[in-house]
Each structure stands twice: as C-alpha cells, then as structure tokens.
Amino acid sequence: MPTESPALSVAARDPRLNDAPLLSAARRRQPPVTPVWFMRQAGRSLPEYLKVREGIPMLESCRRPELVTEITLQPVRRYGVDAAIFFSDIVVPLKAVGVGLDIKPGVGPVIEQPFRTRADLERIPQLHPGMIDDIAESVRLLTAELGATPLIGFAGAPFTLASYLVEGGPSRDLARTKALMYSDPQLWADLLARLAQISGEFLRVQVAAGVSAVQLFDSWVGALPLADYLAFVQPASASVLSAVRELDPGVPRIHFGVQTGELLGAIGEAGADVVGVDFRVPLDEAVTRIGPDRAVQGNLDPALLFAPREVLRGRVHAILEAGRAAPGHIFNLGHGVMPGTDPDAVKFVVDTVHAWKPAQE
C-alpha cells in the first residue's frame, strides 16, 4: 500500500500558482475568468506533435523527458490554455513494473498476456519511485518551463487499468472484466488493490516533483451500475485519491469517467475535489447530483468542434452559464479531443471561454 513506500518530499511550487484560475476553481474560490483546458490536448492531430514523434513509438516517447516536455508544452503555446496535461499514458506505470504491453496506433493499449487467474497477480509487482525517475525528471523540467501555468499530473484508475489487463486490449462491453468481478470478488479486490498502489505511487511521484493538480481517469467505469461501483470499485479509487491527499492536501484531485451520469455523486465521494462530467448530463443537472462541496469540470461534446463556429459558440456559452450553478467550474470537453479535430476550432473555444462575461442577474 502507498504508506509502505519510501517517503517522498514535495517540491516547492511557483508562488504565482496561488492565483492560477484552474486551481482557484478547483478550490471553489470563483476565479475572475473560467479556466479551460482539454483532455487529450497534447498529441493526436497537432502537426508539431506528429513532427517530433516521427519514428518514435508512443511508450518510448513517454519516457524521454525532453520530448515529454516539448509535447506537453505544445498545446499551451498554441492555444493559451489554463493548464498543461502531462504527456504520458495510463499504461506507463504498468509497463514500468514489467507488464508486457504496447500501445498500438489507432487501437490503444494491448496486453501480451491478459490477466485471468490469481497466478497472474505475480506479474504485476508494486511500483516504487525509483522505477520512474524519468517521470519525476519530466515533471521538474516542465514546471520550470511553465512557471505560473499549472501542470496537471494523471493516472488511470484501478477499474480502467484492470479492464485493459483483463480484456487484453480495448473492449466494447467489458464482458471478461465483469465476469472476473462477479465470479471471483476476492481476486478482483486483490487486483484492484495492487493497481491502486501502482496508480497512487505514479501520482505521488508526480506530486512530489511539482505537479499542481492531478486527474484520475476512470474512463470506462460508466459500464457499471451504481451498486456495483460502490461495492467493487470505489474503495480502490478512494485509496488512490487518499494517497495523494496524504502526501499533499493542497493538490486538487480531479476524477473523471465517461457515461457516469448515474455515478457522479459516488465519484465525488471517492475523494475528488473536482468531478469531471461527460457531455451526456447537462452541467447544472450534474451539479445537483454532485452537491455543493465539489467543483465540476466539463462538458462540451468533442464532436461539436466539427460544427460551424456559431453553433459551437452557442454551446460553449450554454455550458458556461450552466457552470455558474457550481461552486467552481473548469471548462473542458466531455471526453478527449478527437483525432482530426481542427486546431483552430480548439483555439476558438479557448478564446470564447476567456472572452465570456456572465449575464447580469
């Protein structure tokens, strides 16, 4: 468990970060402008990204600090977003502990030997900070470059990591994952506890090296009904988020999954300061489900970036209005930027958010 790991000491952060709109919104202190960033803002279709990645496999790119720094900074330069998201992947810590896997372009993570029995647990050892010195180095290089702009660290949540390990790759229905969960609850709990240690340590290394917020991605947890989420998933996610809080309670924790309309309250209660909302639930309705103690992040449909500008502007304004119901709102998409998105449309959204003024009551 995280508490057994060697003590990590937390780096000093740039004092200007205290006034960063993203961190103010996460702390429910309404900033003068609504902050905006995008899931998957780095990589994908940016021409400057494709150029520096040429000939370098995805997982190797994630372990080269100079390259990670360059790719993470690209969308900050181009769009003027209010935060950088660390360029990495949710499977990087699994690879670091020795799980045989690769990221196949256009497919996603593929696992050499999918997780099926208790014996497979032995192939997933605990993560120790020394296994990811390069991650700490990348964060240090980045925070030095970013100055007053927050860097968001991230990890995959235990359920979503388990889904890749059990399915062996991306899956539509997560049938094998659910079958394991329902047929051998003890093995499932042990797998999730191991993944919670790995995720928690991956985040703690990033926090110790200087990230100013973290996001825990539970992308596929919306496949579960609430009762199963509470019984089979929430304890492991809560342990990841509390490992971060123990190291530095001042680092806000964002928690997000897709199709989580029925789970929003429980996702907040796992220990998040900010709940990410996908585009299926109107933001003001999401605020009602989450309650007044947490900020929200979201929730423009990524497909709207392909719509005409006047339609896009109308939707952005509607989300900003709905976000006023929350004690803090970070503008984002309801999921990641889609491949093929026009970078000018992304820039248009940033400028529209920053230019917006709430209507007078």
> Counting Cβ atoms within 10 Å, is residue 286 exposed (0-12), middle (13-18) or buried (19+)?
buried
- Cα 198 vs. chain centroid, distance in angstroms? 15
Tell me, yes or no, if 164 is annotated catalytic: yes
The catalytic position among 14, 28, 53, 64 is: 53
**List of residues contacting ligand CP3 (CB under 6 A):** 39-44, 58, 85, 87-90, 103, 105-109, 154, 217, 219, 336
Name the 3-class secondary structure at 102: strand
CB of 203 to ligand CP3, least distance (A): 12
Phi, psi of 53 (to 5 degrees): -85, -10
- Which residue, 103 or 290, is less far from ligand CP3 as judged by CB? 103
Closest CA to 112 of 121, 99, 124: 99
Cis peptide preceding 18, ω within 30 of 0: no
Rounded distance between C-alpha atoms, residue 70 and residue 51, angstroms: 11
CB of 201 to ligand CP3, least distance (A): 17
The catalytic position among 164, 204, 218, 289 is: 164
- Which residue, 279 or 356, is less far from ligand CP3 as judged by CB? 279
Closest CA to 53 of 81, 72, 40: 72
Tell me, yes or no, if 89 is annotated catalytic: yes
CB of 42 to ligand CP3, least distance (A): 4
Extract the tokens encoding 149. 């702009």
Extract the tokens encoding 352. 């529209």
Edge-to-edge order in the sheet of strand 151-156: 84-85, 151-156, 213-217, 253-256, 274-276, 295-300, 329-333
Give the nearest residue (CB) to ligand CP3.
43
CB of 237 to ligand CP3, least distance (A): 14
The catalytic position among 14, 28, 44, 351 is: 44
Rounded distance between C-alpha atoms, residue 297 and residue 115, angstroms: 33
- Which residue, 109 or 323, is less far from ligand CP3 as judged by CB? 109
The catalytic position among 28, 40, 63, 123 is: 40
The residue count of the chain comes to 361
Tell me, yes or no, if 53 is annotated catalytic: yes
Rounded distance between C-alpha atoms, residue 217 and residue 35, angstroms: 20
Rounded distance between C-alpha atoms, residue 322 and residue 298, angstroms: 11
- Which residue, 25 or 216, is less far from ligand CP3 as judged by CB? 216
Give the residue ranges of the annotated binding site. 40-44, 89, 164, 219, 335
The 3-state DSSP composition of the chain as helix, strand, coil percent (nearest 5) reads 50, 10, 35
CB of 106 to ligand CP3, least distance (A): 5
Rounded distance between C-alpha atoms, residue 217 and residue 326, angstroms: 21
Tell me, yes or no, if 176 is annotated catalytic: no
- Which residue, 88 or 197, is less far from ligand CP3 as judged by CB? 88
Rounded distance between C-alpha atoms, residue 107 and residue 276, angstroms: 24
- Which residue, 252 or 356, is less far from ligand CP3 as judged by CB? 252
- Which residue, 49 or 232, is less far from ligand CP3 as judged by CB? 49
CB of 35 to ligand CP3, least distance (A): 16
Give the residue ranges of the annotated binding site for substrate. 40-44, 89, 164, 219, 335
Cβ atoms of 256 and 241 closer than 8 Å: no
- CB 290: neighbour CB atoms within 10 A? 24
Catalytic residue numbers, as ranges: 40, 44, 53, 89, 164
